[in-house]
Amino acid sequence: MKQGAQGSPVATGIPEQDAGVAARVPEQQRGTDTPREHGAAGPAARGEHPCPEAPVPHPRPVVQRSSVRGQILDALRTALVTGELTPGTVYSAPVLGERFGVSATPVREAMQQLAQEGAVEVVPNRGFRVVLRDARELAELAEVRSLLEVPVLLRLATTVAPERWAELRPLAETTVRAASAGCRAAYAEADRAFHRAVLSLSGNEQLVRIADDLHRRAQWPRATGRHIRTELMADAAQHAALLDALALRDVERVRVLVREHFRG
């Protein structure tokens, strides 16, 4: 760990965590050449008039870079959820790039996306600092999610057939298994998958997309010292209770459960 110009810690890497954490940041290979991503523009279209039916193939598709950036973004999001990226620490894009085996560019682009989502903040000439979610910000996210999702769930409680809710039981059970394992990254994915499936019954794709983004933001690192497995198990248990209330069309119970779930 190095000290920055203003005294803030600058990370030279991501600390080791217990085995089983998904999508870990690869260990840096010191003293060896680090592979870099190579982009190559495809050949120009031949002929006076391009033919859309027979496009000229590219040796390296243009989407390759987006794919690399997307993979880095997914890995960084997982590292945020698990706490491998420590709140308050500044991370350098070139150093992270070495650990991922890519150039600093896709790392920097992924970090810029995380900055837009509020997970990190830009530190000029140094890198990106991981933001710690405080109680107020989590409460605000819970309020926004409630305003967006509660009315939809109350409507679904009166319009969706009980057997449709039964079809979502396996997703709720998956969250229980992930919680029991105490893996925050696996639980985060299973939790969002469950909520996406519930909201998808509304038929509103924009709602599902926006709600999932808010949900992801609420999963970023919190204060340390909490019992992770106990917290996750309590959260997962509410999924089954919510399905029970929805199947019974108990509107008031649904209202209470959803609001408690978001605050939790």
Residue with tokens 């069309």: 249
Instruction: Pick 24 or 80 by higher pLDDT.
Output: 80
Tell me the angle at which helices 251-263 and 135-159 cross, rounded to the nearest 10 degrees. Answer: 160
Does residue 126 share a domain with residue 139? no
Residues 121-151 pLDDT 10s? 999 989 999 988 788 888 899 999 999 999 9
Q: Last residue of a domain, which of 130, 153, 181?
A: 130
> What is the structure's pLDDT at 254?
96
> What is the structure's pLDDT at 239?
97
> What is the structure's pLDDT at 222?
58
Residues 56-114 pLDDT 10s? 334 443 334 558 889 999 999 888 888 888 888 999 999 999 988 899 999 999 999 99
Does position 34 have pLDDT exceeding 50, yes or no?
Answer: no
Instruction: Pick 15 or 86 by higher pLDDT.
Output: 86
Does residue 114 share a domain with residue 17? yes
Does residue 156 share a domain with residue 80? no
- Tell me the pLDDT band of 36, cut-offs 50, 70 and 90: very low
CATH of the domain at 231: 1.20.120.530
Enclosing domain of residue 11: 2-130
Close Cβ partners of 54 (under 8 Å, ≥ 6 residues apart): none
- Tell me the pLDDT band of 219, cut-offs 50, 70 and 90: confident
Q: Last residue of a domain, which of 107, 130, 153?
A: 130
Does residue 125 share a domain with residue 146? no
